[in-house]
């Protein structure tokens, strides 16, 4: 990495591009080699499997022909012996199965395979592109190599372990190292099981034979890649040398600019990507010259000097314009700050003034409101003002009442009643927000404000609000415009005024309540004696009521013990039943749960008009007494019953209570 860092730009570009192209060529060459290798292996694999299947078929056919010939010879001799009557005399008995087995055992399979291999490949040498050897391997691992008939023994080897359990008609393909010890070569085996002689027919070829053509291809690809890399390196060196020369010139120019030096424009005649960079640098040089001249003019105090930034993204140029703008605004800021300071001082003095006024408030709320409004009109230098306070003496019709009015340096004695929501004053109280109007039309104050005949220019109405509760409204009219800081001042003063007026009104109400309390105390003393006498009479009455209630409870217990009681809704559905009813009916609560009384009647009776009419009359409030027949758990029961409708607290019938006792009457 240290060596690469020390290289020049053109060498780095050469190295990078050449390396990338070399990687691409190597990957491409490996892909070609891989494709060709797979193609060759697949071609050889297909060819050898065809050879193996063809040989196996021919050899099987040949062996089967020999076996059929042995059978035919045996049958022929047996026929001749029977014709000579030798098979029955006991002198020449021949077992056909043994004879056939003997003749088949004399068939030389090795010879057949060798002959068929020679015959199969005779004349095909030009078409066999891959040299291989054919083997016949028996189950015990011993075998023969064809066509030279050499013995081959693989018993006890790893190869034998792979093939000894192979059966069926599928070809086994596997690779193995041979010999298994010493110098070994990798070989490929194609093996097929022959059921006719319980042996394996195999074709073996070695890996070097398969890949020797691939070695030539691999060498060719490697040489081609090496030559291509050298050629690319040379071409890149020639092309990049010219580019890096101008890049070096650009680098020197940028270095001069970074040191604050005014650089000269660069000449570049070629029309390529580097030309755009050169033009951008030349534009930057021109812009820096203009920026320098503009900065000098600003330094001299010439804020009217013209300047155009290079673009919207020109931070330096736009910063200079912002600086000029800031200089223009600096004086305006100083003037505005002075004015704001004067406003803050005015508000602070006003808050202190009214805080002192309200601290020495009087008990008369009318005099206090006049004192407040007169001082507020004078301090704000307005023409007139008034204070309205919420009057809740009439609970059914609360309204706003003018407590005090001050206009043109004089106290005005006016009585005004404004309903909540009426006019601007009523609307301000209802909405709880400040109302400010300007340029009022002629006669507007007479209609809306109620402050007199003058026609002021602006009107300010502020709610006297404390903790989101509105106690009244202050109304101010002026021949001038109310400035925002004065409106804010009145809103702040409104909270203090609301608090003070609320406190004074509370004190006044407390005094009134105290007088009422003293008067009511005297009245209560006279009523106390009368109440004591009434309590003695009430106690005697209560003792008698308790005695009667106890007697009634005992009576209800006796009725509940001796009489069956059952409750229904207006449709006859059972709600509940007491223990005595369950006893005489011989049922449990579960037996009657979610049931109707009609479920325990005979069907013809339950669906009769008589029963339907009975329950309609009960729902209408009619009492009924009579004997009714029921069937509980298969037993007939006759009950003498009295049905009584019951009303709720609204006087509406909502359930039926029946008193029942069992009777033998039907």
Give the tens place of pLDDT for each residue, 69-90: 767 777 766 666 666 555 444 4
Greater model confidence, 633 or 262: 633
Q: Which of 434, 389, 441 is nearest to 416 (CA)?
A: 389
Greater model confidence, 341 or 442: 341
State yes or no: cis peptide before 62, omega within 30 of 0.
Answer: no
Distance CA 478, CA 458 (A): 5
User: Residue 214 in contact with residue 37, Cβ under 8 Å?
Assistant: yes
pLDDT for the residue 4: 42
pTM: 0.35
User: Residue 223 in contact with residue 202, Cβ under 8 Å?
Assistant: no
> pLDDT tier at 643 (50, 70, 90 boundaries)?
very high
Q: Which of 118, 115, 96, 109 is nearest to 137 (CA)?
A: 109
**Ranges 188-197, 278-287, 305-314, most confident:** 188-197
Strands 199-206 and 185-194, how do they pair? Answer: antiparallel
Distance CA 635, CA 648 (A): 36
pLDDT for the residue 567: 92
Tokens read off for 67 = 């076996």
- Residue found under tokens 């020369």: 245
pLDDT of 656 strictly over 90:
yes
> pLDDT tier at 7 (50, 70, 90 boundaries)?
very low
pLDDT for the residue 452: 47
Distance CA 468, CA 404 (A): 24
Task: For residues 519-531, give the mean pLDDT.
Answer: 73
What percentage of the chain reaches a pLDDT higher than 70?
69
pLDDT of 295 strictly over 50:
yes
Task: For residues 201-206, give the mean pLDDT.
Answer: 82
3-state secondary structure of 168: coil
Task: For residues 279-308, give the mean pLDDT.
Answer: 70
User: Residue 480 in contact with residue 458, Cβ under 8 Å?
Assistant: yes
Distance CA 221, CA 22 (A): 12
**Secondary structure of the chain: what % helix, strand, coil (to 5)?**
55, 20, 25
Greater model confidence, 154 or 303: 154
pLDDT of 180 strictly over 60:
yes
Helix (H) or strand (E) holding 209, with range, is helix 207-258
Task: For residues 611-634, give the mean pLDDT.
Answer: 89
**Ranges 53-62, 272-281, 465-474, most confident:** 465-474
Distance CA 410, CA 423 (A): 25
Task: For residues 631-658, give the mean pLDDT.
Answer: 89
pLDDT for the residue 442: 65
Tokens read off for 568 = 């229904």
3-state secondary structure of 383: coil
pLDDT of 436 strictly over 60:
yes
Task: For residues 2-27, give the mean pLDDT.
Answer: 61
pLDDT in tens, 404-417: 888 765 666 565 78
User: Residue 171 in contact with residue 205, Cβ under 8 Å?
Assistant: no
In this structure, what DSSP letter does residue 394 have? S
Helix (H) or strand (E) holding 430, with range, is helix 423-431
The string over 643-664, giving b where at least 16 C-beta atoms fall within 10 Å of a residue's C-beta and e elsewhere, is bebeeeeeeeeebbebbbeeee
**Ranges 247-261, 300-314, 399-413, 506-520, most confident:** 399-413
Greater model confidence, 524 or 124: 524
pLDDT of 425 strictly over 50:
yes
Contacts 24+ apart (CB under 8 A), 595-601: 596/571, 596/572, 597/566, 597/568, 597/572, 597/573, 597/630, 598/572, 600/630, 600/631, 600/632, 601/628, 601/629, 601/630, 601/631
Task: For residues 615-621, give the mean pLDDT.
Answer: 89
pLDDT for the residue 506: 66
pLDDT for the residue 573: 92
pLDDT for the residue 240: 62
pLDDT of 1 strictly over 50:
no
pLDDT for the residue 216: 65
Residue 498: Cβ-neighbour burial (10 angstroms; 0-12, 13-18, 19+): buried
| Distance between first and last Cα of the chain | 121
Greater model confidence, 613 or 266: 613
Tokens read off for 146 = 């064809």
Q: Which of 163-167, 552-556, 593-597 has the lowest mean pLDDT?
A: 552-556
pLDDT for the residue 397: 80
pLDDT of 603 strictly over 70:
yes
State yes or no: cis peptide before 147, omega within 30 of 0.
Answer: yes
Task: For residues 507-526, give the mean pLDDT.
Answer: 70
Tokens read off for 547 = 């005695």
Category of 167 on φ-ψ map: left (φ > 0), alpha (ψ -120 to 50) or beta:
beta
C-beta atoms surrounding 187 within 10 Å: 20
Distance CA 654, CA 660 (A): 20
Q: What is the CA radius of gyration of the chain?
A: 63
Mean pLDDT, the chain, rounded, equals 75
pLDDT for the residue 585: 87
The string over 94-126, giving b where at least 16 C-beta atoms fall within 10 Å of a residue's C-beta and e elsewhere, is eeeeebbeebbeebebeebbbebbeeeeeeeee
Distances (CA, A) of 60 to 52, 56, 145, 200: 12, 6, 18, 12
pLDDT of 91 strictly over 50:
no
**Ranges 129-133, 134-138, 255-259, 592-596, most confident:** 592-596
H helical segments located in 460-483: none
H helical segments located in 483-572: 484-562
User: Residue 150 in contact with residue 136, Cβ under 8 Å?
Assistant: no
Distance CA 191, CA 154 (A): 14
Greater model confidence, 36 or 375: 375
User: Residue 136 in contact with residue 110, Cβ under 8 Å?
Assistant: yes
pLDDT in tens, 550-591: 776 777 777 777 788 999 998 899 999 988 888 888 999 888
Task: For residues 528-554, give the mean pLDDT.
Answer: 74
Task: For residues 265-294, give the mean pLDDT.
Answer: 68
Strand-pair partners of 287: none
pLDDT in tens, 337-376: 888 888 888 888 888 887 777 776 556 777 778 888 888 8
């Amino acid at each position: 990495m240290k060596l690469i860092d020390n290289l020049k730009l053109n060498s780095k570009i050469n190295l990078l591009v050449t390396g990338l192209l070399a990687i691409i060529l190597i990957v491409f060459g490996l892909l070609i080699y891989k494709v060709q290798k797979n193609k060759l292996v697949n071609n050889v694999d297909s060819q050898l499997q065809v050879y193996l299947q063809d040989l196996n078929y021919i050899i099987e056919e040949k062996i089967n022909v020999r076996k059929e010939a042995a059978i035919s010879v045996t049958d022929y001799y047996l026929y001749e012996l029977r014709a000579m009557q030798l098979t029955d005399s006991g002198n020449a008995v021949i077992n056909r199965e043994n004879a056939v087995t003997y003749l088949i055992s004399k068939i030389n399979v090795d010879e057949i395979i060798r002959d068929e291999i020679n015959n199969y490949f005779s004349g095909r040498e030009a078409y066999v592109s891959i040299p291989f050897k054919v083997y016949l391997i028996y189950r015990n691992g011993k075998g023969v190599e064809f066509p030279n008939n050499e013995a081959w023994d693989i018993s006890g080897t790893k190869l034998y372990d792979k093939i000894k359990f192979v059966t069926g008609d599928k070809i086994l393909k596997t690779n193995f190292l041979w010999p298994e010890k010493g110098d070994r070569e990798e070989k490929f085996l194609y093996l097929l099981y022959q059921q006719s002689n319980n042996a394996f027919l195999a074709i073996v070829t070695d890996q070097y034979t398969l890949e020797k053509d691939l070695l030539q291809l691999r060498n060719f690809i490697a040489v081609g890649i090496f030559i291509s890399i050298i050629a690319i390196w040379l071409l890149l060196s020639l092309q990049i040398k010219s580019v890096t020369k101008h890049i070096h010139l650009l680098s020197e120019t940028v270095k001069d600019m970074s040191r604050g030096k005014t650089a000269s424009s660069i000449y570049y005649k070629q029309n390529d990507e580097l030309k755009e960079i050169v033009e951008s640098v030349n534009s930057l040089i021109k812009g820096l010259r203009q920026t320098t001249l503009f900065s000098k003019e600003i330094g001299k105090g010439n804020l009217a000097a013209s300047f155009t930034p290079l673009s919207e993204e020109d931070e330096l140029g736009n910063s200079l314009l912002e600086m000029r703008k800031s200089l223009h605004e600096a004086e305006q800021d100083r003037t505005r700050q002075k004015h704001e300071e004067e406003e803050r001082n005015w508000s602070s003095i006003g808050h202190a003034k009214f805080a002192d006024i309200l601290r020495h408030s009087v008990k008369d709320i009318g005099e206090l409101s006049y004192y407040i409004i007169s001082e507020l009109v004078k301090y704000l230098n307005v023409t007139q003002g008034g204070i309205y306070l919420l009057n809740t003496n009439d609970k059914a019709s609360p309204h706003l009442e003018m407590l005090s009015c001050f206009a043109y340096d004089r106290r005005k004695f006016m009585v005004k009643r404004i309903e909540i929501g009426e006019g601007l004053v009523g609307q301000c109280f209802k909405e709880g927000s400040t109302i400010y109007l300007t340029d009022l039309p002629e006669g507007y104050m007479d209609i809306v404000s109620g402050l007199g005949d003058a026609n002021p220019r602006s009107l300010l109405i502020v709610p006297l609000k404390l903790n989101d509760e509105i106690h009244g409204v202050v109304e101010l009219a002026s021949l001038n415009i109310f400035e925002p800081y004065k409106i804010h001042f009145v809103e702040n003063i409104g909270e203090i005024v609301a608090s003070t007026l609320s406190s004074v009104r509370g004190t006044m109400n407390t005094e009134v309540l105290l007088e009422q309390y003293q008067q009511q105390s005297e009245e209560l003393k006279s009523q106390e004696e009368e109440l004591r006498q009434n309590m003695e009479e009430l106690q005697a009455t209560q003792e008698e009521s308790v005695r009667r209630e106890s007697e009634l409870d005992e009576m209800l217990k006796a009725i509940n013990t001796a009489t069956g009681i059952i409750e229904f809704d207006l449709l006859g559905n059972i709600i509940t039943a007491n223990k005595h009813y369950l006893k005489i009916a011989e049922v449990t609560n579960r037996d009657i749960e979610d049931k109707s009384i009609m479920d325990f009647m005979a069907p013809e009776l339950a669906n009769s008009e008589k029963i339907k009419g009975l329950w309609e009359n009960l729902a209408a409030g009619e009492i009924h007494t009579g004997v009714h027949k029921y069937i509980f758990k298969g037993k007939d029961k006759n009950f003498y019953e009295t049905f009584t409708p019951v009303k709720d607290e609204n006087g509406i019938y909502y359930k039926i209570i029946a008193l029942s006792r069992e009777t033998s009457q039907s």
